[in-house]
Amino acid sequence: MPDPSLPGGLLRGRRILVVGAGTRPSAEPDAPVGNGRAIAITAAREGARVACADVDGHSAGRTAAMIAAEGGDACVAVADVGDPGSCDRVVSQAAERLGGLDGVVFNAGIGIGYGLAGTAPADWDRVLQVNLRAPFLVGKAAMPALDDGAAMVFIGSLAGTKPGSRSPSYDASKAGLAGLVRHIAAEGAPRGVRANVVAPGLIDTVMGRDAAAGNRSRDRVAGLIPMRRQGTAWEVADVAVFLLSERASYVTGQVVHVDGGLSTLR
């Protein structure tokens, strides 16, 4: 087994699928990287071969190109996780192209509706399809495809622990994700297959900037955080990659918050 203490060796030789590996387009010249892209790139920097999957093939291809530009190994898959068949296919395609799977990251997610009155039943159903049914289907397809000792990481949200998004469908889906992942972890434990949730708080991404609607609003948001700043997707990626690695070999069924203390210190 590769020595994870060596530089760039935390995921050396591992084959990782990242679902939601693109970044939402933005007109901002300094637009930040998204969580999925940061995770895919960080995994590659740590020695993994990465399958970059996204509903936007161009965005996934851009992530793969960034990995290749640094000397990494990446392939692209297009997956609409709202389609159950696509959830199965993306796992089988990644396993075929990479020659097996040692890890899966599920990063796809949407939010629709504002408040109970502003959330239509169709909005609720769509969010639950993408945010909760899809990780169930990807996890179900991945479990038999993963080698013993593999790991799955699901990107949740602080909204799964505390109210704040003002979207009942989003909050409920992220709360449900924790229960789903505990079950996946329990089924995988006899083979040493681990599953955990990374729950970001207020992270500076394109989606986060759209919600904040301007620098002044972002500054006010940062003032709510005990560490007095928003996090970055790279900080989320570091935690996700750690959980994919052998260094987290005794960590499973957990929700790890990456939120500057917002979930516990306020």
103 by DSSP, 3-state: which?
strand
Q: What is the pLDDT of residues 239-265, one digit of tens each?
A: 999 999 999 999 999 999 999 999 998
pLDDT for 220 beyond 80 = no
pLDDT at position 23: 85
Give the tokens for residue 10.
Answer: 């935390």
Tokens found for residue 11: 């995921």
pLDDT over 50 (residue 225): yes
The residues that bridge with 104 in the sheet, in sequence order, are: 17, 152
Measured CA to CA, the distance from residue 173 to residue 154 in angstroms comes to: 12
pLDDT one-digit tens code per residue, 67-103? 999 999 999 999 999 999 999 999 999 999 999 999 9
Nearest to 82 by CA among 153, 20, 26: 20
Q: Look at residue 5 and tell me whether its pLDDT is greater than 50.
A: no
pLDDT at 112 over 70: yes
Q: What is the pTM of this model?
A: 0.92
- For the chain, give the mean pLDDT: 91
Tell me if residue 250 is catalytic.
Answer: no
Q: Where are the alpha helices (DSSP H) in 77-212?
A: 84-98, 121-128, 134-145, 168-188, 206-212
Residue 133 one-letter amino acid: R
What integer pLDDT is reported at residue 238 of this predicted model? 98
Closest CA to 58 of 35, 13, 25: 25
Q: Class for domain 15-204+232-253, per CATH?
A: alpha beta
Residue 2 pLDDT: 42
Asked if the model's pLDDT at residue 29 lies above 90, the reply is no
Do 155 and 200 meet the contact criterion of CB atoms below 8 Å apart? yes
Residues ≥6 apart with Cβ < 8 Å to 74? 40, 44, 49, 50, 51, 52, 63, 64, 67, 68
Q: Which helix (H) or strand (E) holds 239?
A: helix 233-244
Q: What is the pLDDT of residue 163?
A: 81
Mean pLDDT of 15-31: 84
Q: What is the mean pLDDT of residues 2-17?
A: 75
Q: With bands split at pLDDT 50, 70 and 90, how would you rate the model's confidence at 3?
A: very low
Nearest alpha-carbon partner for 180 in 109, 68, 255: 255
In the predicted structure, residue 213 carries a pLDDT above the cut 60: no
Catalytic residue among 106, 124, 136, 170: 170
- What 3-state class would DSSP assign to 64? helix
pLDDT attached to residue 266: 78
Closest alpha carbon to 47 in 114, 116, 103: 103
Q: Which of 252, 255, 258, 209 lies closest to 238, judged by CA?
A: 258
pLDDT above 90 for 209: no
**Contact in structure between 151 and 246 (CB atoms under 8 Å):** no
Query: What are residue 101's DSSP bridge partners?
Result: 146
Could you give the CA distance from residue 84 to residue 262 in angstroms, rounded to a whole number?
35
- Could you give the angle at the alpha carbon of 147 between the alpha carbons of 144 and 148, nearest 5°? 105
Residue 32 near residue 232 (C-beta atoms within 8 A): yes
pLDDT tens digits, residue range 120-154? 999 999 999 999 999 999 999 999 999 999 999 99
- pLDDT at residue 26 is higher than 90: no
- The answer, yes or no, to whether residue 215 has pLDDT greater than 60, is no
CA distance 90 to 85: 9
DSSP 257: E
Total Cβ atoms within 10 A of residue 130: 22
87 contacts 134 by C-beta, under 8 angstroms: yes
pLDDT of residue 30: 77
Condensed to tens digits (0 to 9), the pLDDT of residues 153-178 reads 999 999 999 887 889 999 999 999 99
